Structure 1
Amino acid sequence: MTDTTQTRFYCRASRADATRLFVLLETEFEDDGFPLAIREINEEADIDEVELYADGNLDVVEDRITRILGDTILSDPLTREKLPDTDWVAASLEGLKPVRAGRFFVHGSHDRAKRRIGDLPIEIEAGLAFGTGHHGTTSGCLDMIWRVAGRERPRNALDLGTGSAVLAIGLAKMARIPVLATDIDPVATKVAVANVRLNHAGAFVETKTATGFHHPVFAKWAPFDMIVANILARPLMRLAPEMATYLTPGGSLILSGILERQRNAVLAAYNGQKFRHVATLAREGWVTLHLKR
């Protein structure tokens, strides 16, 4: 991984306010690609820290953050900190606690000792790819996968926009089925390959850099009994016709990366392709949808 100099913006607030700010900041900086994190600072005092790593015109970034903060009551004010050359992703993830969703236990190498009997562990190392399990969309998808795959027993699956490959690894470990994990970003694919290898899931998971459904790998694998896509609402809506084409009749679609206010628009796009809504799982201002066709 390439080291780089970054500037960290951070503030501290109650858990409820910090969670709300995290969602607002993620929406604001969606197109900038700036990494965000939220972590517990003091459980007893109910204080969490929200941090954003940025570069470019930092004064403009600070103005945008300040506008979003508005009149939120902060435990510690917004602070700008220039970081030394360091692996900032690894440093951020070191402070995150493991996550449980269903029987899945998502953790870093420093938390291996916290595995319990009966866990399906997924070890995710720091990398320049989305998906550590700590985001509401990722943990929501894992929870939904646990419920749906356990009941339906799919024969194969697609993880579209795989990021760190956490969902593909979870599916492979749980159902022991072939899973195609694709991403449009070659850096993400490289991280996914490393995590698949780390979790000994290479016999089940194939990773590929692919844009949309135009890559020949999709024709090779299709149709899929299950498609999981944790990306963003707008691309999910555009992909609705192709999702219908590549999913087996009676197969399941699990979608996330959708803000609560975007839920109805996404459902409308899929209703138009004759999908029916089965369940919605809400978490931290985001929703995960289970649809069938």
Structure 2
Amino acid sequence: MSAVTGFRWRVRIERPSAEAAFAALDEAVDALAGQEEGPAIALDLVLPEEDRMADAAAAELAVTMTGASLNLQQVTELVTQLFTCLGAELPPGVLPRTCPAPEPLPERDWVRLSQAGLPAQLVGRFRILMDESHASFWPGRPALRLIASTAFGTGHHATTRGMLVMLDALARRLGRRAPTPMLDVGCGSGVLALAMTRLWKRPVWASDIDPDIMPVLAAHARRNGVALRPSARRGRGEAMACRIAPGLDDPCLRRAGPFRLIVANILAGPLKTLAPALARQLAPDGWLLLSGILADEARSVINRYRRFGLVPVARWCRQGWVTLAFRRPARAYRPLPPAGLLRQRAADPDGRQAQRAGRP
């Protein structure tokens, strides 16, 4: 008999309460997933197939937990916590009277399985699909069709989720006005570039330092019907142009700027290093979205970008990761001078002392 390394817990929910239950369970799962040395947890909302949707009275919430040292007692305690959280958020009678028991699963390649087992994650307005058989879920919402992979992101991490939520909010604010040109710095598998071209139906620039991303990026583009072009400077429609370069250090990207929307989901250290280049290439009234930032690093990143004239306008936090939105004012910016020069100007605002000393 195979060693048990994973469990699956299923709860049937009345259809009218399914999405509210999913949101409540998502919050509870995020809290559990953020615990140190806790199990890997994947959440799934399984709706009936489209041809049976009208007649179905219930949907199914499913939670998969995996880990090398998981045991039935530990998982039972976790699902009891989840069941209690759901009961506190939902109207009486929606849930079963008793907490369903978790089901043991045989040992497998859980990284790939958990990715493939999240076929219809709803993030903002986006459906993240890992399985085409679930394409009928949440009809009318834009879909990002991704490939389960052990090497590249699938759009389910809190950093990517934060970016998708921010892009959704920005699209609601801008309406039909496309913030072109657009750029995804450190694009990886291309999830954010795909989301931008899908939202505004305009070509998007993308860049990454790692040439190994190109096969996955090309596969994602094909699966989503997005054209890969040598340039994104002109035209309409869903398309991407990817450059292999560190940050914005590429002649095509320099010529394409300034950009009205730049997104960068990297890490706090590289983001602070890139601050001068990103600020320089951001157009007046442009938007900059940053992610890959731990909660205790957010303040230093904000202060770094403020120095280059960018104004923080929004913040999204989940599982200890922060996504930040900045805007560049319409007037031209000047980097702030060193603190010592600021003190000198405050003491001698007209520069008379400097003139008497013969300095300009």
The verdict on a shared fold, with TM-score over 0.5 as the criterion, is yes
Whole-angstrom distance in 1 between the partners of 2:37 and 2:210: 23
Change (3 A) 1:115 1:156: farther
Q: For residue 122 of structure 1, report the CA deviation from its aligned partner.
A: 0.8
What corresponds to 1:238 in structure 2? Answer: 273
Whole-angstrom distance in 2 between the partners of 1:146 and 1:16: 21
Whole-angstrom distance in 1 between the partners of 2:111 and 2:206: 22
List aligned pairs for 1:196-211, cutoff 5 A: 196-202=221-227, 203-211=238-246
Change (3 A) 1:214 1:132: same
Whole-angstrom distance in 2 between the partners of 1:249 and 1:243: 12
Q: For residue 224 of structure 1, report the CA deviation from its aligned partner.
A: 0.8
Identity of aligned residues (%): 36
Q: Does residue 102 in structure 1 map to residue 137 in structure 2?
A: no
What corresponds to 2:42 in structure 1? Answer: 39
Q: Deviations over 1:19-40 (max 9, x none)?
A: 113xx579xxxxxxxxx95324
CA contact (8 A) 2:116 2:131 kept: no
Q: Does residue 145 in structure 1 map to residue 167 in structure 2?
A: yes
Q: Deviations over 1:148-174 (max 9, x none)?
A: 134233022111111221111111011
Whole-angstrom distance in 2 between the partners of 1:244 and 1:25: 38
Q: Deviations over 1:169-195 (max 9, x none)?
A: 111011012211222222223211210
What corresponds to 2:154 in structure 1? Answer: 132
Of 138-147 and 185-194, deviating more is 185-194
What corresponds to 1:225 in structure 2? Answer: 260
Whole-angstrom distance in 2 between the partners of 1:45 and 1:246: 44
Q: Does residue 165 in structure 1 map to residue 190 in structure 2?
A: yes
Q: Which amino acid aligns with 1:251?
A: G
Q: Does residue 292 in structure 1 map to residue 327 in structure 2?
A: yes
Change (3 A) 1:49 1:252: same
Whole-angstrom distance in 2 between the partners of 1:16 and 1:193: 31
Match for residue 275 of structure 1 among 303, 307, 310: 310
Whole-angstrom distance in 1 between the partners of 2:136 and 2:204: 27
Match for residue 20 of structure 1 among 11, 34, 41: 34
Q: For residue 284 of structure 1, report the CA deviation from its aligned partner.
A: 2.1
CA contact (8 A) 1:182 1:189 kept: no
What corresponds to 1:255 in structure 2? Answer: 290
Q: Which amino acid aligns with 1:156?
A: P
Q: For residue 141 of structure 1, report the CA deviation from its aligned partner.
A: 0.5
CA contact (8 A) 1:140 1:288 kept: yes
Q: Does residue 122 in structure 1 map to residue 144 in structure 2?
A: yes
Whole-angstrom distance in 1 between the partners of 2:43 and 2:37: 17
Whole-angstrom distance in 2 between the partners of 1:239 and 1:118: 37
Gaps of 5+ in 2: 9-27, 45-59, 77-106, 228-237, 329-360
Whole-angstrom distance in 1 between the partners of 2:314 and 2:30: 25
Partner SS, residue 200 of structure 1: coil
Gaps of 5+ in 1: 1-8, 27-35, 53-61, 63-72, 77-82
Q: For residue 291 of structure 1, report the CA deviation from its aligned partner.
A: 0.3
What corresponds to 1:75 in structure 2? Answer: 75
Q: For residue 90 of structure 1, report the CA deviation from its aligned partner.
A: 3.5
List aligned pairs for 1:169-184, cutoff 5 A: 169-184=194-209
Change (3 A) 1:196 1:51: farther
CA contact (8 A) 2:293 2:321 kept: yes
Q: For residue 231 of structure 1, report the CA deviation from its aligned partner.
A: 0.9
Considering fraction of residues, name the structure with more strand. Answer: 1
| TM-score (norm. length: structure 2) | 0.60
Q: Deviations over 1:242-278 (max 9, x none)?
A: 1111111110000111111111111011111111110
| TM-score (norm. length: structure 1) | 0.73
Q: Which amino acid aligns with 1:142?
A: L
Whole-angstrom distance in 2 between the partners of 1:223 and 1:272: 19
Change (3 A) 1:15 1:115: closer
Q: Deviations over 1:29-68 (max 9, x none)?
A: xxxxxxx953249xx999763559xxxxxxxxx9xxxxxx
Q: Deviations over 1:106-164 (max 9, x none)?
A: 11124433433321011001235543221111111111011113423302211111122
Change (3 A) 1:209 1:125: same
Partner SS, residue 226 of structure 2: coil
Whole-angstrom distance in 2 between the partners of 1:51 and 1:179: 38
CA-based RMSD: 3.5
